[in-house]
Structures are given as structure tokens and as C-alpha cells.
Amino acid sequence: MNYVKTFSLMVLLIVLFMIVGQAIGGNQGILFALIFAIGMNFFAYWFSDKITLKAYHATELTQYNYPQIYARVYPIVSNLAQRANLTMPRLYIVQSSTPNAFATGRGPKHSAVCITSSILNLLDDNELSGVLGHELTHVKNKDILTGTIAASFAGAISYLAWMAQWGAIFGGFGNNRRNNNVFGLLFIAIITPIIATIIQLAISRQREYAADKGGANLSGNPLYLANALEKLEYANRITPMQQTHLSQATAFMFIINPFRSKTIQSLFSTHPPIEKRIERLKTMSM
């Protein structure tokens, strides 16, 4: 059911993308929008992991640079990867006071799992296995690729909407100019980015529920992840990460949204309510 919902939302996002392209420039607008989307998604597919890891100053976790941490984390991930029938992912660590974790990469054979340094002090090994199982489920389900493509389409729609805004100011493009459809362009410029963002976030939330279920199964006890989520939510609320220009684009990758905003954007969450996630996990344990 989760896959059906995700697929339906992705189709809806693509349709919205094509509608915006058509509204701006007719058939030529659709062609431009399609080429633009293909270019963005190609770039996202090949380079999103490198960009994300570099953006957060992640360092590869090996037995040479972090022997004690490696000795603790590697056996957990290796065991979980075997259970999930996955290739062992590359391990990374970010020096941060915000306890969190994320996965990135274009597929199971080109994946990386990253933890922040402070998560090791907050969680015990069982709870850590729940978190890392969650991330490996994202890898197995190719959720990072799905989320990256959804973010690319949403970003492309926002860019096209920005073009529509300027088109409305200067009287429209092509057929819109001749038809004096300035108000239609202005409507598209304002409404479609909001709709695209809502669809993108809905996709992210669906994949989080599925990863929670997978993480619970891989770790062997749903309560491991439930307890971890409760601790992480509190810690991330007290000590959020500093926001950057990539915060909005990468927030969906983390197991808990590490960014807090005082603006209206905080109403648009990349993750389901933590209470519902914990409730579902506790129900699984019964």
C-alpha cells in the first residue's frame, strides 16, 4: 500500500510539473520542462550523495581514524545488512551535537550511512540498531533516490513558477501574452510551488513509515526504534542543527528532522508526527 501511495504521489507531482510547463510555454514549455527535469534528476542521481556528505562535512568512518566508534558501529551495520541481504554500505560520521543519522546514495550498491557523533552517547546498542535498520531500509527501498527525484521535481516546479511570476509581471510568454492570461500565470506562480511542496513532503512521510517498519523488523524489536525516536526527537528539539541553503532539500534524509524553523514553513514537515511513528512501532510489538 505504501508503494502504491508513493507511486501515485510521484505521478501527481510529474503531472503538475507538465501542467506548469504547458501553462508557461505550451508544447515548447512542456519540452523545456521535461529537459530541465531530466537534467536535474540526472545530476541528483549521480551526485546527491557526494553533495550531501560534503555539505555536512562527513568523514568516512574506518577502523583507522575512529577505531573505537568503528568497533561499535560496524558489527551492528554488518549484521543488519546481512539480514536485509544488502551490500555493506560505506560508513560516515559527522561531528555534531545534534544526534541524528541519515542514508544517501543512488542505490543499494552505491550507498552510505552516516551518523552524528552525539548519537553514540545518547543511544544504547539496541536503540542504535533500530536507527541503523531504519536507514538500511531506506537504502533497500531506494527511498533516497525517490526522495531526491521528488525534491528535484518540486524544485523545478518552483523554478518554473518563478519564471511564471516574471512572465506575469512583463505580460506573459508566447500564447499567454496573446491571450492576456497574466492572471493565470500569477496563479500558477503562487499556488503550484505550495502544491508541489505538499506532494513532495507526503512522499517523504510515506517512506518514513515504511522505513520505521523495516527498521523494527531488522533490529528484531520495534521498541528499540520507538525508544530511539523518543530520545532523538527530544534531543533534536533542544539542540537543532544550524540551517544552511541545503537544509530544506536534505531534511527528508534524516531519521528525525534536525532543523527547527519559527516561520510558517515549520508547518510543512518532512516526517510524520513522532507520536504516530512511535504508536505504530508499539503496536507492532504487541
Answer yes or no: 135 catalytic: yes
6-7-13-14 Cα dihedral, nearest 10 degrees: 160
Q: Which helix (H) or strand (E) holds 130?
A: helix 125-140
Length of the chain: 286
Strand ranges of the sheet holding 101-107, from the earlier edge strand across to the other edge: 59-60, 90-94, 110-116, 101-107
User: Could you tell me which residues come within 8 angstroms of residue 85 by beta carbon, excluding any fewer than 6 positions away?
Assistant: none
Distance CA 83, CA 92 (A): 21
96 with 259: CB under 8 angstroms?
no
Distance CA 166, CA 17 (A): 18
Catalytic residue among 60, 127, 135, 208: 135
Q: Which three cell numbers stand for residue 273?
A: 508526527
Distance CA 283, CA 286 (A): 5
The full DSSP string for 42-93 is HHHHHHHHHHHHHHTT-EE--TTTSHHHHHHHHHHHHHHHHHTT-PPPEEEE
Distance CA 145, CA 259 (A): 21
How does DSSP classify residue 146? H
User: Could you tell me which residues come within 8 angstroms of residue 267 by beta carbon, excluding any fewer than 6 positions away?
Assistant: none
Active site residues: 135
